[in-house]
Chain A
Amino acid sequence: MKAAVITFPGSNCDRDLATAFEQVGAEVVRVWHKDTALPEGTDIVGIPGGFSFGDYLRCGAIAARSPIGKAVVAHAGRGGHVLGICNGFQVLVEMGLLPGALLRNANLKYICRTVGLRVETSESAFTAGYAQGVELQVPIAHHDGNYMADAETLARLEGEGRVAFRYLANPNGSMNDIAGVLSENRRVLGMMPHPERAFAPLHGSADGRAMFDGLMSAFAPA
């Protein structure tokens, strides 16, 4: 598996994400936001957490329209995989690769703590490493993670089993307790919690590792 991890000015989880991919044996290429193309043979693009472009205008808005943004949208258009975590999720909704929007947390606070999640579907390369219904402990660290979508979109996401993760106790006001959603072809995942920060026992939880192991298996040569 070849993973391209993008760094924007203000990204701060890019190294963590690259390390998680490396730990499961992926080839990782670090990509700068001014690059206009992804490395040849990229299987999956990782858009990391952080505060790209200082969250100016709207979280993720400027990053979504950066030079590398076009290449990411084209990669997804070709059926490529994209994983957006935290600010990466915000970038993906701003790119239009995922529906809905992420608003300011309902309590207006920046929330940084470990939360309980439930895996709602194993039907994606991202969640294939988990049994459906299993509960995880994964950290969140965000100010704008309050997922909202119009009623029609929400019904569609639920009907098509595209809610990947749900909070056990809603921390931020997200509709339907949504913590992560999949694209229609199930190859783009955006999630607010940080699986790369729950990768090893030293992190306090290793529940995020199965996502990277699952991805590695999905891209293993047949």
Chain B
Amino acid sequence: MKYRVFVTLKAGVLDPQGEAIRHALGALGFEGVNSVRQGKMIELDLAETDAAKAEAAAKQMCEKLLANTVIESYRVEPA
């Protein structure tokens, strides 16, 4: 089973990299970009064939390693 994990900073956590991207977009002439938030996407290829089990395992991976839940939230979706 393949999954995509999206890890993003929680709302309210300052994202200086996103801000820098927003400024750069403005410099390129893209107007009206109110906000940019940067995150990461992680692809998982799991041996587990049971979708429910595989998704549960992916979520556990997020809790234990892939996301720092103090500052980040995550979303798991089938790829």
Contacts and interface: CB of A to CB of B under 8 A. Distances in A.
Interface string B51-75: 0000000000000111010110000
A: interface residue count bin: 10 to 19
Given A101-B71, A108-B16, A173-B14, 4 more contacts: A65-B64, A94-B68, A99-B70, A101-B70
Given A57-B65, A61-B65, A148-B71, A104 B16 contact: yes
Contacts, number: 35
Given A108-B20, A148-B71, A103 B65 contact: no
Which 7 residue pairs of A and B lie closest in terms of their CB atoms, listed nearest first? A101-B71, A101-B70, A108-B16, A104-B16, A106-B16, A108-B20, A58-B68
Interface of B: 13-14, 16-17, 20, 64-66, 68, 70-71
Given A106-B14, A108-B17, A108-B20, A57 B66 contact: yes
A58 B62 CA distance: 13
Interface of A: 57-58, 61, 65, 93-94, 99-101, 103-108, 146, 148-149, 173
Decide if the interface of chain B is mainly helix, strand, loop or mixed. Answer: helix
A36 B17 CA distance: 37
Contacts of A149: 70
Contacts of A105: 16
A94 B65 CA distance: 9
A197 to B, nearest CB: 26
From DSSP, what is the main secondary structure of chain A's interface residues? loop
A61 B68 CA distance: 8
Nearest to B9: A103
13 contacts: A57-B65, A58-B68, A65-B64, A65-B65, A101-B70, A101-B71, A103-B13, A103-B16, A103-B71, A104-B16, A107-B16, A108-B17, A173-B14
B69 to A, nearest CB: 10
A200 B27 CA distance: 47
A146 to B, nearest CB: 8
A99 B16 CA distance: 21
A93 B70 CA distance: 10
A101 B14 contact: no
Contacts of A173: 14, 16
Contacts of B20: 108
Contacts of B17: 104, 108
Contact of A101 (B16, B65, B66, B68): B68
B47 to A, nearest CB: 21
A107 B70 CA distance: 22
Contacts of A100: 70
A103 B20 CA distance: 15
A132 B13 CA distance: 32
B13 A148 contact: yes
